[in-house]
Structure 1
Amino acid sequence: MLKLSYNSNGLRSVPVEDAVRAVADAGYQAIEFSLHPRHIDPFSFRPADADRLASVVESSGIVACCLAAGADNLLGAERFEPSLVHPSHEGRERRLELTGRALEIAAWLGVPVINFASGPRRADVTDADAGRWLREGLARLLERADGVVLAMEPEPGFFVESNDQALALVDEFAHPGLTVAQDLGHCRVVEEDYLGSVSRAMRATSVIQLEDIKGRHHHHEIPGDGDIDFAAFFRICREQGYEGYYSVELYNHSDDFDGALKRSIAHLREQYDAAAAG
């Protein structure tokens, strides 16, 4: 069964409650929330806000499958900084606190998974230091998780930018609370054999984000507008028994979210059926 979600960061032009209803009305089974001042501001969001939002989700007949904790400017004007591999202790602590806050908000909302990223490694930081700081941070986050699953999302240009890197961390920790959040478009940008990468990481994957990509350029396109072979991708998912959600992430299409919602679901359903047929 194709279980489709849509990331709320693609509907930032409307209040979060309207985003939930729009996703449900378009036929999706779930919504992936995203930390963002417009929707869920991690610095002001409270349990009462979570109760109200969860009620809207329930009444809309969908579920909240994930909370994305990696918005680019939550901690300052420099995108994605400070990160989990920032050279300053204070910077890393700020990112850990924000990600821990995401875990807390997810628990309030009843969301089972948060996805997050390593952040970029600066030129003055060695791979060894970045790896040590990231592992220390992951260990602390796992202590705080309290039933919410952590999903590491590889991001082009980040310290962890490939599925294989994320998978190696998951295998090293061997903790059920640490998984991989695949992003199919990111795989296409970074990996020579993006479908092989998808296949290798599937065993540890808790959620998959979808967008199309043209020519391996990191720009999120509406499914069907790029070069990704979605039918081949869905065949891999079916063969490996993936039963989680596929969450469309089109943060750069919020000016026409209605069109993006409808075109995405139509193309993905078509390609899923094509995979099933052959």
Structure 2
Amino acid sequence: MTLRFAFNTNGAANHRLADAVALIADSGFNGVALTLDHHHLDPMEEGWERRAEVLARDLAARNLGSVIETGARFLLDPRTKHEPTLLTADPAGRARRVAFLQRATEIGRILGSEAVSFWAGVPRPGVDHAQAWSWLREGVQQVLEHAEGTGVTAALEPEPGMLAETVDDWRRLQAELPGLSLALDLGHLLVTGERDPAAAVGEFADHLGTVTIEDMRRGEHVHLPFGEGEMDIPACLSALERIGFSRLVCIELSRESHRADSMIPASLRWLREHAA
């Protein structure tokens, strides 16, 4: 198997970042999917650049690649999960989200990351759908323009329940913003039922900025350890092999931090055994 795997640090939320990186490396992973958060390299805290440089040296010493994830729940607003978003009615709120995503690409430049993954958000009650889409297009364009200067791929991730929740939503946005890559979470396809996950790999092969894999059940947006859901993981891995996918394949198990010490190595063992 030629695929390269990364583990998302939101599945090691009870570990210090340096300890999480060490555990991921020692378990045999090829990279880290870094979820920027208040405890794992807060991008809005003074000294973020210095801490990013320290992390970059650690990753290089361990020969680890990276992807930047931006889905922290309460980083920008401690009272409202995931707010503000690119769809927030308040222009200042949207600007804060754009600034955060732009900062994420700057951190990606320092780390030499393959991509920055981000999502659209959920329109709040009373927000017109067409208006929300206009805000989304405007915000993503600003992120893309900034990312171009950093050399980091900006990839939108369709999320169940959000304004852009399907790969067809991504395709519509990408038609308006051709520089936009796709952050494909294969489990999300099982939740929405829009595509067979393995088939989607081939369909969107030319647009993949980053890929995430985990187990899931049909129609239920819960990230599960491998073997506990209904995903045909070996078929997805084979599809990624067939297209020659060389970027990191990220594992996201955000509910497993309480047993990260065992779950991180077990996840990679499962993938290697079942891919073989």
- Which deviates further from its counterpart, 3-12 or 258-267? 258-267
2:41–2:48 CA contact under 8 A, matched in 1: no
Map of 1:103 onto structure 2: 105
| Alpha-carbon distance in 2 for matches of 1:159, 1:269 | 35
2:10–2:35 CA contact under 8 A, matched in 1: yes
| Alpha-carbon distance in 2 for matches of 1:50, 1:100 | 15
Query: Is 1:51 paired with 2:56?
Result: no
2:3–2:241 CA contact under 8 A, matched in 1: no
Give the counterpart of 1:164 among 165, 168, 174: 168
| Alpha-carbon distance in 2 for matches of 1:52, 1:105 | 11
Map of 2:192 onto structure 1: 190
Higher relative contact order (CA 8 A, sep 6+): 2
| Alpha-carbon distance in 2 for matches of 1:193, 1:98 | 31
Structure 1 SS opposite 2:256:
helix
| Alpha-carbon distance in 2 for matches of 1:54, 1:189 | 35
1:167–1:201 CA contact under 8 A, matched in 2: no
What fraction of aligned residue pairs are identical, expressed as a percent?
A: 32
Query: Is 1:249 paired with 2:252?
Result: yes
| Alpha-carbon distance in 2 for matches of 1:171, 1:15 | 40
2:190–2:217 CA contact under 8 A, matched in 1: no
Structure 2 SS opposite 1:22:
helix
Map of 2:213 onto structure 1: 210
| Alpha-carbon distance in 2 for matches of 1:214, 1:143 | 37
Amino acid at match of 1:183: D
| Alpha-carbon distance in 2 for matches of 1:200, 1:127 | 27
Give the counterpart of 1:89 among 75, 88, 91: 91
Map of 2:275 onto structure 1: 272
Structure 1 SS opposite 2:260:
helix
| Alpha-carbon distance in 1 for matches of 2:242, 2:110 | 35
2:85–2:93 CA contact under 8 A, matched in 1: yes
Give the counterpart of 2:262 among 259, 263, 268: 259
Aligned-pair CA distance for 1:216: 2.8
| Alpha-carbon distance in 2 for matches of 1:25, 1:142 | 34
2:86–2:97 CA contact under 8 A, matched in 1: yes
Map of 2:35 onto structure 1: 34
1:164–1:201 CA contact under 8 A, matched in 2: no
| Alpha-carbon distance in 1 for matches of 2:235, 2:175 | 26
Map of 1:12 onto structure 2: 13
Task: State the Cα deviation string for residues 2-33 of structure 1 (Å, max 9, x = none).
Answer: 21110111111111111111001101011111
1:186–1:218 CA contact under 8 A, matched in 2: yes
User: In the superposition, relative to structure 1, how do residues 142 and 192 fare at CA in structure 2: closer, same or farther (>3 Å)?
Assistant: closer
Aligned-pair CA distance for 1:192: 4.1
Give the counterpart of 1:149 among 150, 153, 156: 153
1:160–1:166 CA contact under 8 A, matched in 2: yes
Query: Is 1:228 paired with 2:240?
Result: no
Map of 1:78 onto structure 2: 80
Structure 1 unaligned segments of length 5 or more: list them. Answer: 274-278
Aligned-pair CA distance for 1:96: 0.9
1:234–1:271 CA contact under 8 A, matched in 2: no
Structure 1 SS opposite 2:258:
helix
1:7–1:31 CA contact under 8 A, matched in 2: yes
Aligned-pair CA distance for 1:260: 1.3
| Alpha-carbon distance in 1 for matches of 2:217, 2:140 | 33
| Alpha-carbon distance in 2 for matches of 1:59, 1:86 | 40
TM-score, normalising length: structure 2: 0.92
| Alpha-carbon distance in 1 for matches of 2:191, 2:250 | 18
Task: State the Cα deviation string for residues 118-170 of structure 1 (Å, max 9, x = none).
Answer: 00122312221111111111111122111111010111110011122113322
| Alpha-carbon distance in 2 for matches of 1:209, 1:50 | 23
User: In the superposition, relative to structure 1, how do residues 137 and 101 fare at CA in structure 2: closer, same or farther (>3 Å)?
Assistant: same
| Alpha-carbon distance in 2 for matches of 1:144, 1:43 | 17
**RMSD (Å) for aligned C-alpha atoms:** 1.5
